[in-house]
A = this chain, B = another copy of it.
Amino acid sequence: MKRDSFQAIADPTRREILNMLAYKSLNVNAVAENFEVSRTAVYKHLKILTECGLVVVKQQGRERFCEARLEKLNEVSDWVEQYRKFWTDKFDSLEKYLIELQSKNTQSENNITNPSPLSHDI
């Protein structure tokens, strides 16, 4: 289906699911209980979240526990943050933010992830 995080979080139910799973894993039924819509509908949302990596599922007996992988949101964060300066009115704040970002980047220059605000990796 080639879904991405942007599409996944466009739906308010899916955002709520992510919030619900942020601090504790729940099985499919437990997630579904929190919504008006049917279990099957929630299951489909979970499937979409799984497809784009925002949720992983771990089988445990007949239950399947859903776990949020919120670090996948960095794809969205990176895109949005490149425009942060447009709503951060005080230049100081932006400067501070950039400095903070810069220090992070230099610390990790020799490895793994591309820290560019435009990167869509991992």
Interface residue ranges, A against B (CB under 8 Å) = 6-7, 9-10, 12, 15, 18, 22-25, 67-68, 70-74, 76-77, 79-81, 83-84, 86-87, 90-91, 94-95, 98, 102, 104, 107-115, 122
In whole angstroms, what is the CA distance A33 to B120 when docked? 26
Given A25-B122, A95-B108, A122-B24, do A77 and B81 touch, yes or no (CB 8 Å)?
yes
Within the complex, the shortest CB–CB distance from A97 to chain B, in Å, comes to 10
This protein's copies in its complex:
2
In whole angstroms, what is the CA distance A112 to B101 when docked? 13
Given A15-B6, A122-B23, do A83 and B112 touch, yes or no (CB 8 Å)?
no
Residue contact A77 to B67, C-beta cutoff 8 Å: no
